[in-house]
Structure 1
C-alpha cells in the first residue's frame, strides 16, 4: 500500500488547499518513510513548496532529480542518510537540518556547500562564510595542487592512442587522489571527492591530456533559405546550440546534433554527416534565438517520469515555440513579449526555468514545467527584470545570479524568489570594464555582444568596438560589494585576449568549459580560437599584454557555382559541443559552417 498519496500530502500541508501546486509547507515527519515511499511524480507537482519536514524517518537518500524549484528549507534530522549527493537537484535550498544522521561527516557538510550554491544555514548555524571559502578559495587552491601533480609527474604519450590516454587518465586520477592533501584530515574524504568531481566535469584532467586542438572545415550548409532558394545568400543566421548530453534522445545520429536558427527556419543538423535531420518552418517568423533543455515527461500514473530533450525558439513575433525534436513535434507556444525576442536561455540546473529577453528591455523568468504523455504543459511567469536597453546575452554564474549583456552595459540581477512574492526586479549591480575610460564621440564600448562562462568563476566577455576579449572573475568582482550599496562595480580582469578590429556589431563568442576553449568569429569568416587549458599558469604570470590567439582558422572559401570562391562573411555566432569534437559557425550570408576536430593517430 502506498504511504504517500495526494490525499495525504494535502492533509499534511499548509496552507490548506485542494491543489498540490499551491502547497507551501509540508510536514511528513515520523512516518517511517524510505526512498521507495517517495513518489517523484507526485512530489514534482509541489511547485510552490518552500518548507519540507522529513525528520524522524528512515531515509538513506532522496529521489534523484527531484525538482522543487521553490524549496528553501528542508529538515532531514534523525534519518539514516548516507548519500548526500541526491540533494544536488534542490538548487534553491537555503537552510538544511541534518542532525542525528549517524553516517554524515564534516566532509559531507563541505560537499553540501558545493552542491547547494544557496546554502546559508546548516544545522541552525550560519555557514555563509565557510561555504564561500569552500566554493571559491578552497576549490582554486585545490585546482592549483592538482595541476602541480600533473606538471611534476605526467606528460602526453607519443604517439597518442585511446588505450594510452585511458591508462594515463587512470594513473593521473589515482595519484592525484593519493597525493593532493589539503586542509585537516577530517575533510580528506571531501578533498578526494572534489578531485573526482573535477575529473567528471572535465575541468582538470581533460585540459591536460587532450591533444592540441586542430579543427578542419567539414561542411558548409545552406539550409535556412527563403523559399528553399539556392540563391539566398542574405538570410542572417543568429543562434546555434548543441543538444545537451543528459537526457539525449537523438544519440542515434552519428555525430553531435546542433540546432540552428535564422529566417523563418529552425534546423537540426547531424554534424558528422552534414545532414539536416529535421527542419521547422514558421511562416512570418524570423528566429533570433534558441535554447535546449531537459524536462520531465510523465508517462502515466504507473510509470515514472523520464527526462526528455526539448527546444525553445523565438524571434520577431515575440512567441516562444516549444518543440520535442525526437517526435518532430512542436507541442506548444506562448507569448513572451509583444516585442521581438532577442535571447532565450534555460537554467542549467533547473531545466524547466526559461529566461527570455526582448526588445521591450525586459528579461522574464518562466517556469515551463514538464509535459505529460499528451503534451499538456503549463507556463508560469515567475519574475520580470527591467533593463535600460535590449538584452543580448544571458549568463548564469550561480544558482540565483543572472548577468545580462546589453546594448548599454553588463548588469546583475538576483533571481531568488522574495518573501513578498514581488515579480518585478531592478538590476542590483552594473559591472564596468577598463575600456570604458577610452570613450570618445565615436566609441562608447558599452555594448556587450559576447558573454559566456569559461569556468565556475571565470567569465569571457566582449565589448563592441574593442579588439580584445576580457577574462574576469565573477566571485572576486561580486566580493567588491559586501554591503550591497554600491551599484557600480569594476570587473576584476584576469587577462585580455587579442581579437580583431571591426565595426561590425553582435559577433558573439562561445566557450567550451570542459575543454577550456574559447572561440569567436570575425567579419572575414575566420574563427579566433584560444586554448586556455594552461589557464592557471597564465594567470599566475599576470600577463600585462593581451594574449594572442592559439590559432586563427581561415575562412574555408567554399565555391559558389558559376561565381568562384566566396568572400568570407561575418560570423554572427559559434557553438562547440562539450567534448570539442565540432565547432559550428553561423554567418550573415545563410551559411552554416561545421568544423571538426582532426583525429590524432600519432602518424604525423
Structure 2
C-alpha cells in the first residue's frame, strides 16, 4: 500500500455477500453469511495459549438460545490488504468526532500505523501511513485523542515498549515516551482528560502519562499488582476507576478518584524541570482496590466497562459480564480483601481459543462485536433490558478464514471494521 493510494473501490454486486437468515433445522446456520468450511492457518506468536480443556458439548447446548434472529444485520461492502502482509493486531475508530463527520480509523500492524477514512458506498480511503524507523518494531495497539485546539492525536505502541504520539495534522510523530520495560499491549485515553494516556505492558505494570507535559504521572503495579503480562485495561465512563487484566488470569480494579492521584495529575501540569533539581515524582500504587482470579481459568486478554459492570474475555469461548461483590454491593462497601464476584451473564461463541483476540463496543454501548480464529464475527445486540435476551448475528465471508484480531464499530454502530492475521481489513455496513 502506498501513501498515494486514493481509495479502494467497493465490491461489485456479484462480490457482495448479504446477510441471509437460513433455517434448515440444524441451528448452526442462523444469522450466518455465506457459511463455508474454514481452514485455520498458522497462527502468530501471540497465539500460544496454554492447553485448555474445552467443555464444548455443554456450551453448544447453551448457545442454541443465541441462534434466534437478531435485529442487527450487516453486509460486507469492502475489504483491502495492507502490503506488509503481516498480522494487523489493532484497529480503533476515532470517537472524538461530531455526529455526521466522516468515520476515521487507524490500524496497527508490523512497524506501520495507517489512518483511513470510510467513505460512502463502502469505499475506504487511505489518508496517511507511518513506518517506524526500527524494522523490528511491531505495533500492537493505538488510541485516539485530541489536542488543545481539537485536532486529532493518535497514540501507538507495541513490541519495543515505546509509546509514540502521532499528529495527523503535522503528518509526523511529534512525541515518544520510554519507560516500560517491555512490550505495550493496549492504550486508552482518559474519558475526561484527553492528555492522560493509560498504557499496559508485558512488564506487569500499567502507566498513566501526561502527553502534554511529557511526564509519567503514575505506575500501577508492584506488591499486589499483576504477576504476569498485562494484556488489557479500560477506564470507566467517568474516569474514576480502571479495570485491568492479564496473563496471570486475574482482573484488578484501581480507583483513581483519590487525592493522591489528583495531586499527581496537578503536579504533572505544573512541574517545571528548569526550576527543579529533581526528576518529576511519579507516584506508585502497589495495591489495587479489588482483585479476583475467579472469573477466568486462562489468559484474560480483553476487558471493558459496561456501565457499572465489567465485560471480560479469556480463551474459553465466552465473554463474561460480572461485578465485584454480591449484587447488592456498591462501590463504597467493597473492600480490597473481598474477592467475591457476581456473574450476570455469559456471551458464548465458538472457535476463539487463542489469546490476544479483542472485542469492541460502540460508543453508546448498545452493540458488541468479536471476531474468532477462523474469520467469523459475532455481533450482539446489547440494547435489551434483560441480558439473557441478548441475541447475536454471525457474519462470515468465503475469503476470510484466519484469525480476526480486533473489531471496531463506528460511533453510531452503522459500520463494523475488522482486522486479520493476513493483513486484511474488512468493512461491514449495517442493513437498516
Q: Is the 8 A contact 1:411 1:427 kept in 2?
A: no
Give the equivalent residue in structure 1 for 2:74. 215
Q: Shift in Å at residue 457 of structure 1?
A: 1.7
Is the counterpart of residue 291 in structure 1 residue 152 in structure 2?
Answer: no
Determine the C-alpha separation between the residues in 1 that align with 2:144 and 2:179: 17
Alpha-carbon shift at residue 244 of structure 1 (Å): 2.3
1:517 aligned partner: 367
In the other structure, the counterpart of 1:379 is: 214
The answer to whether structure 1 residue 592 and structure 2 residue 425 are counterparts is yes
Per the TM alignment, residue 502 of structure 1 is displaced from its structure 2 partner at its CA by 3.8
Structure 2 counterpart of 1:418, from 250, 256, 260: 260
Correspondence 1:452 to 2:287 = no
Q: 1:431 to 1:480 in 2, by over 3 A?
A: farther
Q: Which residue of 1 aligns with 2:195?
A: 352
Partner Cα distance (2:183, 2:98) in 1: 30
Any stretches of 5+ residues in structure 2 without a counterpart? 1-69, 265-281
Structure 2 distance, partners of 1:552, 1:431, is 33
1:216: how far off?
1.0
| Contact 1:429–1:489, Cα closer than 8 Å, also in 2 | no
Question: Which is richer in strand?
Answer: 2
Cα gap change, 1:286 to 1:406, in 2 (>3 Å)? same
The one of 99, 102, 113 equivalent to 1:266 is 113
Two-structure CA RMSD over aligned residues (Å) = 2.7
CA drift of 1:589 comes to 1.4
3-state SS of 2:401 partner: coil
Give per-residue Cα distances to partners, 1:318-372, cap 9 Å, x unaligned: 2111111133232222213232211111111111000111211111111112xxx
Query: In the TM superposition, what are the counterparts of 1:531-550 in structure 2 within 5 Å?
Result: 531-534=381-384, 536=385, 538-539=386-387, 543=388, 549-550=391-392
In 1: Cα distance, 2:359 partner to 2:327 partner? 21
Question: CA offset at residue 579 of structure 1?
Answer: 0.2
Deviation per residue, 1:374-425 (Å, 9 max, x gap): xxxx311110111321111111124221110111111111223518967111
Scaled by the length of structure 2, the TM-score of the pair is 0.71
User: Do the aligned residues in 2 keep the contact of 1:498 with 1:549 (CA within 8 Å)?
Assistant: no
Unpaired runs of 5+ in structure 1? 1-210, 227-231, 297-305, 370-377, 437-444, 559-566
After TM superposition, the score normalised by the length of structure 1 is 0.51
Q: Sort the Cα spacing of 1:429 and 1:217 in 2 relative to 1 into closer, same or farther, 3 A.
A: same
Return closer, same or farther for 1:332/1:435 CA change in 2, 3 Å cut-off. Answer: closer
Q: Distance in 2 between matches of 1:486 and 1:318?
A: 30
Q: Which has the higher helix share?
A: 1
Inter-partner Cα distance in structure 1 for 2:417 and 2:202: 27
Q: Which residue of 1 aligns with 2:239?
A: 399
Deviation at 1:247, TM superposition (A): 7.4
Aligned to 2:380: 530
Q: 1:286 to 1:490 in 2, by over 3 A?
A: same
Check 1:327–1:435 CA distance in 2 against 1; reply closer, same or farther (3 A cut).
Answer: closer
- Equivalences, count: 333
Distance 1:289 1:365 in 2: 16
Q: Could you say if the C-alpha distance between residues 483 and 244 of structure 1 is closer, same or farther in structure 2, counting changes exceeding 3 Å?
A: closer
Assess if the C-alpha contact under 8 Å between 1:247 and 1:309 holds in 2: no
> Deviations along 1:576-601, whole A, 9 cap, x unmatched?
01101211111111111111112x3x
Deviations 1:513-541 (CA, angstroms, capped at 9, x unpaired): 5151111111110001110111x2x25xx
Evaluate the alpha carbon distance shift between residue 482 and residue 327 of structure 1 in structure 2; reply closer, same or farther with a 3 A threshold. closer
Counterpart residue number, 1:390: 229
CA contact (8 A) 2:291 2:336 kept: no
Who is 1:582 aligned against?
415
TM-fit CA distance, 1:270? 1.6
Give the number of the structure with larger relative contact order, counting CA–CA contacts within 8 Å between residues 6 or more apart: 2
